[in-house]
Structure 1
Amino acid sequence: MSSENNVNSGSKAVIRKRIKAVRNAMDRADCVRRSELICKRLSELPEYVNARNICAYISKGNEVDTKLIIERAWADGKHVYVPKVYGKEMEFIEIADYGELAPGNFGILEPKSDDRSEIKDGLMFMPGVAFDKTRSRIGFGGGYYDRYLEKHEYLVTAALAYDCQIVESIASEQTDIKPHIIVTESKVIS
């Protein structure tokens, strides 16, 4: 697979559909190998090393496997928070192991608890379908992360993506929030 996807034009919906198809067609063993490289690269960055709090989404399907970095964060003594959706909003709730999760909205694992706490600093992993070299992002279309980060702009954000998810250009809107860094299996874009 080339390091840059040749899906370089079209609406967000068209790019989202094409990149999801490319990612979903990836071999599972290849996804695991690439996820390991991404998580290793991320764990060496000062943004991760210096963070006491990690806000991580629970990956699904062929997304970059966040389980690897979540387990690394626990081993490193960091607090791990994962999202729980409440209508059109989401909050992050601390978990100490995977037994604290249950299927929630969209079939994604969420905390069973509703014990919300204000996270004053930390590193947040932003999910996404596609990204470009300027760090513009196409998410899944719900706007949850953009709304959350609008209120929590002090969090450092990192997108975890395969090289094939990097496209030439994405038209961004005023409400779109770019991650500070994008970590792929071959590079860090900042």
Structure 2
Amino acid sequence: MEAQGGPHAGGADGDVALTRARKSALRRAIRLARDQLSATDRAVASAAAEERLWRLPELRSVRTVGLYAAHRGEVDLTGFADRVRAAGARTLLPRVVGDDLDLVASTSTSPLVAGFRGIAEPTGPSVDPEQLDVIVVPGVAFDPNGGRLGQGGGHYDRLLARLQPHTVRIGVSFACQLVPSVPREDHDLPLDLVVTDRGTYRTGARPVEEG
């Protein structure tokens, strides 16, 4: 975090305010860059990111994978979800419940309904997130060290905090969403891998225990 000199710096409160201001500015910039991708570019890049995900050794022999329903131009993982299910794994999708995210089992024919902020959400009973072997999360911006900038609600940060230590956390985005460093606060939890259509980054941000 950048130091703020001078007698009116505001201490810790000033640092937090600065970090949040930097987050807001980065969100605006990255959303603009992502929105400039054409539908064709987005489809091609989504397919490339899906292929990189599929080749990860962390995806071999997994039983339960957390995914998401793409919203507002995010990387579309529909094809990846089908491949994971065809390989025998169960896929879970998130559902906003108050300030938290629940996870619900979802298949290619499971109904999705418009939920929080219009995001497609599954219906059905909740599944304990401790069952996850791998979770793939979206975001507005990522960095190669595992930093993630979300939409600002903190839902994924609270979900990540509930996972077992062995659960592999993967962020996925378009290459234009990767930045050198994402501003972080204490509650922002790092990811183990960041995957884009152009590269895969193993962050080493935390030790991953065997499940």
Question: TM-score, normalised to structure 2's length?
Answer: 0.81
Match in the other structure for 1:176: 188
Match in the other structure for 2:6: none
Match in the other structure for 1:5: none
Distance 2:193 2:144 in 1: 10
Aligned residues: 180
Distance 2:111 2:55 in 1: 28
1:70-85 → structure 2 map (5 Å cutoff):
70-85=81-96
Q: Once the two structures are superposed, what CA deviation does each residue of 1:122-141 show, in whole Å capped at 9, x if it has no partner?
A: 11011111111212111110
1:172 maps to a residue whose letter is R
- Say whether 1:135 aligns with 2:146: yes
1:31 maps to a residue whose letter is R
Unaligned residue ranges in structure 1 (runs of 5+): 1-9
Match in the other structure for 1:92: 103
Q: Tell me how far 1:97 sits from its aligned partner.
A: 2.4
Distance 2:95 2:154 in 1: 14
- Say whether 1:34 aligns with 2:45: yes
2:119 maps to a residue whose letter is I
1:171 maps to a residue whose letter is P
Q: Give 3-state SS (helix, strand or coil) of 1:90's partner.
A: strand
1:85-164 → structure 2 map (5 Å cutoff):
85-113=96-124, 115-119=125-129, 120-154=131-165, 155-164=167-176
Q: Tell me how far 1:36 sits from its aligned partner.
A: 0.5
Match in the other structure for 1:3: none
Q: Tell me how far 1:121 sits from its aligned partner.
A: 3.3
Q: Give 3-state SS (helix, strand or coil) of 1:13's partner.
A: helix
Distance 1:123 1:41 in 2: 15
Q: Tell me how far 1:98 sits from its aligned partner.
A: 4.1
Contact 2:143 2:182 in 1 (8 A): yes
Contact 1:126 1:179 in 2 (8 A): no
- Say whether 1:69 aligns with 2:80: yes
1:86 maps to a residue whose letter is V
Any runs of at least 4 consecutive aligned residues in structure 1 with deviations exceeding 3 A, and if so which?
Answer: none
Contact 2:112 2:122 in 1 (8 A): yes
Distance 1:143 1:136 in 2: 14
2:156 maps to a residue whose letter is Y
Q: Give 3-state SS (helix, strand or coil) of 1:11's partner.
A: helix
Question: TM-score, normalised to structure 1's length?
Answer: 0.90
Q: Once the two structures are superposed, what CA deviation does each residue of 1:47-77 show, in whole Å capped at 9, x if it has no partner?
A: 1123211100100132111112111111111
Contact 2:143 2:194 in 1 (8 A): no
Identity among equivalent pairs (%): 29
1:104 maps to a residue whose letter is G
Distance 1:98 1:18 in 2: 36
Contact 1:83 1:92 in 2 (8 A): yes
Q: Looking at CA atoms only, which structure, 1 or 2, has the larger radius of gyration?
A: 2
RMSD, aligned α-carbons: 1.3
Contact 2:170 2:194 in 1 (8 A): yes
